[in-house]
Amino acid sequence: MKQLIAFAAAALTYPSIHAAPLDALLHANPQARYGQGLVEVSADHMNQSLDVFKLRSTDQAFGENTGDYQGATVRAGLSLRPDVWLDGALQRRKLTYGPDQPQIDSWRVGAQWQFLQPPTGGNSAALRLSAWGNQAGQVSKSTPTALPGCIASLCNITASRLSVNDAQDRTLQADMIGSWPLGPMQLSAFAGAGQGKVSVGSISANISGMPVTYANGSFGSFLDTLVPQSFNTELKSTQYTYRMAQAGFNLAYKSGPWQLRGGYVLQNIQRTAVDEVIRAKGKTPYSLNHTLVGELAYQVSPSLVLFTRGQAMSNQYLTEIPFLYNSLTSHRFNQRYGVLSVGLGLVF
């Protein structure tokens, strides 16, 4: 049964996908960059050809396409008045892992109030409030899996399918942002904190033709008598609350129609009752993630901008897709990952 639990939780450990925040590029005065409004559409990818810096991990047992990612992002922003900016984003992505292509949907909404707004375009400061989350209806491992050991008198057990169902996370976040002009460049810095919750509907498997489901802290009355309490404790770690904090900065430079931006953010996440379970097993919990974002844009016309954007993370999506992390999957979060995006923006 321990092997069943480990493999069921492994459905959450696919090399992860790019989430909405892009906090490394926060700035205090979005109206100065985008005008009254913005609509942005991008195609987001990662594969062996694009991974020139060897950021992603591969699993040759499942082929060279392990960790390949394809998706799309839609972002929009609107200035309600000179000191108030609203924005939102939606993403839908697919990741290839052998025969499986799990899908994760992400969303974000935010409101930003610029409480320091100099009339001549000098220093500015803003308070930002946002809510964001990720969800997956089902993440499955469909290849047959041999489970060593026995459950009661049953041995040589095979799981033909393992699935994590209705996994999601929700986060509320607040940030303070400051921006300062430096000749042709602009420097922005920010710091913030948030809190959130991870929930999982159920974990299911088909073992030697018998369906098994773990939900609401139980396998059912029959299997509960066979499963050690320590295994239930680990599965309960798939649902938890967390607190997070971040700080970072970015630089923006414009020369004629060309625009260049680069940003860095350090994020820390603390999870209630999860890291203790990890340490009790003699394993290492991970809480810090370093993220770099770079963007090159070309303004084709006053209302149309073409861009390419890259993101690199030291610990995959440790802080951007919290539901992927629990006491059974934590060992995979010492790996790097990255995504390349190409898109266009309409400003008005």
Mean pLDDT, the chain, rounded, equals 82
- Res 8: pLDDT: 35
- Highest average pLDDT, of 14-23, 33-42, 218-227, comes from 33-42
Q: How many residues does the chain have?
A: 348
In the three-class reduction of DSSP (H, G, I as helix; E, B as strand; rest coil), residue 55 is classed as coil
- What residues contact 81, with CB distance under 8 A and at least 6 apart? none
Given a cut of 80, whether residue 78 has pLDDT beyond it is: yes
CA angle (273, 277, 281) in 5-degree steps = 170
- At 91, list the tokens: 């993403």
Lowest mean pLDDT among 128-137, 160-169, 226-235, 292-301: 226-235
Lowest mean pLDDT among 19-28, 108-117, 120-129, 143-152: 143-152
For residue 169, the cross-strand partners are: 134, 198
CATH class, range 24-138+167-200+242-347? mainly beta
Residue 191 CA to residue 87 CA, distance in Å, equals: 19
- Res 216: pLDDT: 78
212 vs 291, more confident? 291
- At 269, list the tokens: 């996440």
Q: 27 pLDDT band (50/70/90 cuts)?
A: very high
For residue 105, the cross-strand partners are: 92, 135
- What residues contact 208, with CB distance under 8 A and at least 6 apart? 154, 157, 158
Taking the model in full, what pTM does it have? 0.84
Residue 202 CA to residue 216 CA, distance in Å, equals: 8
Chain centroid to Cα 127, Å, comes to 23
Lowest mean pLDDT among 75-89, 144-158, 312-326: 144-158
What is the average per-residue pLDDT within 213-240? 70
What is the average per-residue pLDDT within 218-246? 74
- Per residue in 301-329, pLDDT (tens digit) is 999 999 999 999 898 888 888 988 888 77
